[in-house]
Amino acid sequence: METQSMQVVRDFLTAVQQGNQAKLASSLHPNVEWDQPGNNRFSGVKKSSADVFKMVGGMFEVSSNSLALTDVKVLTANGNSVACLVHWKAVQPNGGRLDVDNIDVYTVEKGQIVKAKVYSADIAQEDDFWLK
């Protein structure tokens, strides 16, 4: 189970880096629960893949399409739970910068991500970048 769960998450993160929309859509369960940290316009719990895609689309808009997953530093599993240390970068036209590590914890069932909980190493930086 750990190997399969890690592969699902690895494929998902690769799709994020490559912008592979079809793979992203097939990796997320339609009723995925996504918990985004902080106190900004994108924070809170999303209850569907449609809500997750809406959130990410907003992030790309706010970052002038510069948002990038630049590194997957650690990927490890415990049963069907996969934790990863990832790095994100983005720049806004007004000069705002995002350069932050996140720890994401994904739950995988039947080959799809059914839950994601994101932890930020610098939530203040994220809140300042994403604003309300």
Rounded to two decimals, the pTM is 0.95
Per-residue HEC secondary structure of 48-105 comes to: CHHHHHHHHHHHHHHCCCCCEEEEEEEEEEECCEEEEEEEEEEECCCCCEEEEEEEEE
Total domains in the chain come to 1
Q: What is the average pLDDT across 57-84?
A: 96
Task: Residue count of the chain, please give it.
Answer: 132
Q: What is the average pLDDT across 61-89?
A: 97
Q: Residue 78 sits in which domain range?
A: 2-130
What are the structure tokens assigned to 52, written together? 């997750």
Look up the CATH number of the domain holding residue 37: 3.10.450.50
Distance of CA 8 to the CA centre of its chain: 14
Confidence of residue 20 (pLDDT cuts 50, 70, 90): very high
